[in-house]
Amino acid sequence: MTHPFLIIGGYGTVGSHLVSILNQFLPELPVVIAGRNAQKASEAASRFSNAIGIAVDTQRADLGLDSQAHFSGIALLTNDLSTHPAEYAISQGIPYTSIATQLNHIAPKLALYLNHLSTCRVLIQDTSFAGALISAGIFCTKDFRSVEQIRVGVLMDENDLGGPASMADFDDFSQKEAGLVLERSQWKVPRNGDEQRKYILNDGSSFIASSLPGFDAAELAQMTKAHSVRVDLVVGQSPGSLKGDNPSVEILYEIDGILVNGQHESVSFQLTHPKGQSYLTAVGVAAGIESMLMNAEKTGLYLTSQKINPELMIERLERTGARLQPVKM
């Protein structure tokens, strides 16, 4: 019998989407929806045949759970500074992931992981959209023998900023200096106008975005070996909203390099999810959970690009309504 997967924050914005997506892609996986409020957790679980709802207390080392409880893994989706959920997962020898994207919030957990490298089973999804941005970027480079430059522009809708955890992320980013960019193999803090860049979408509309503090640029640089990398973000009106539809999230990839046939090429791709950024994040977490459970016994600390096959991520994105298409140059 498969043990249930514990989702802390499972009745929040991303969590609600996540449980639905897991039911679609891993229908045999039972789920425990957890949070501070047992009633909200139970109400959320009542919508699914394979879910139950419980209360957890992340201020307790045992999370307030029954000593006989067994789980196949834990995902933390809340803006919670406690390391107890991660410590609990490590003590139980089960996979763990979280999506707290604020860099200063990751430090205590990173120290914990590094101190338990031989026993932890951790996937770091503390990146934009739980690794979906990175996975899609790597996928877009598959026809390149070598990558010279990657520029990523993200347009999020001002009416689709998610729940409290996402709002905390944006408040945190707004108070930070510009995110690092890689230029000719040298990391630097962009200044004097270099913090921003213009991107043009398939429909001809454009947006100006600012360099994003976070893991994304660093992980893309490591995995693609590109000499120049930047990731920019802006919050505004999405094409979805402008058309009177649901707010969408748009990610534009601009890639320069040498193709496998030896030809120098510049290409652009646009990833659109018409269901918005919270849903895109939930797809990323679901792909992470699926990937962890494929080899749950393997210990270690993993980046999303090390654990999630980009083709799996793209397949899951497209099956949930996302579109990845070339941009007309």
Q: How far is CA 315 from each of CA 47, 115, 224, 261, rounded to the nearest angstrom? A: 26, 35, 20, 26
b/e for 257-283, b at 16 or more Cβ within 10 A? Answer: beeeeeeeeebbbbbbbbbbbbbbbbb
Which of 4-8, 108-112, 178-182 shows the highest mean pLDDT? 4-8
Q: Residue 176: pLDDT above 70?
A: no
- State whether 40 and 171 are in the same domain: no
Mean pLDDT of the chain: 93
- State whether 290 and 269 are in the same domain: no
- State whether 218 and 204 are in the same domain: yes
Q: What is the DSSP letter of 69?
A: -
- pLDDT for the residue 157: 95
Burial of 166 (0-12, 13-18, 19+ CB in 10 A): buried
- pLDDT for the residue 101: 59
pLDDT digits (tens, 9 = 90+) for 185-228: 999 999 999 999 999 999 999 999 999 998 899 999 999 999 99
- State whether 122 and 188 are in the same domain: no
The model's confidence at residue 106, banded by pLDDT at 50, 70 and 90, is confident
- State whether 285 and 265 are in the same domain: no
- pLDDT for the residue 107: 87
Q: What is the DSSP letter of 328?
A: P
**Whole-structure pTM value:** 0.94
Domain that holds residue 103: 5-129+281-313
Q: Residue 12: pLDDT above 80?
A: yes
The answer to whether 246 touches 239, Cβ cutoff 8 Å, is: no
Q: Residue 96: pLDDT above 70?
A: yes
What would the DSSP string read from start to end of 84-130?
Answer: HHHHHHHHHT--EEE----HHHHHHHHHHHHHTTTT-EEEE--SGGG
- State whether 217 and 254 are in the same domain: yes
Q: What is the largest CA-CA distance in the chain?
A: 61
CATH (domain of 189) = 3.30.360.10
- pLDDT for the residue 1: 60
Q: How much is the average pLDDT of 229-246?
A: 95
Q: Residue 102: pLDDT above 90?
A: no
Q: How much is the average pLDDT of 159-188?
A: 76
Count of domains in the chain?
2
- State whether 105 and 231 are in the same domain: no
Q: Residue 173: pLDDT above 90?
A: no
- State whether 161 and 94 are in the same domain: no
The answer to whether 217 touches 134, Cβ cutoff 8 Å, is: no
- State whether 244 and 110 are in the same domain: no
C-alpha span between 99 and 166 (Å, rounded): 10
- State whether 59 and 107 are in the same domain: yes
CATH (domain of 109) = 3.40.50.720
Q: Residue 95: pLDDT above 70?
A: yes
- State whether 220 and 105 are in the same domain: no
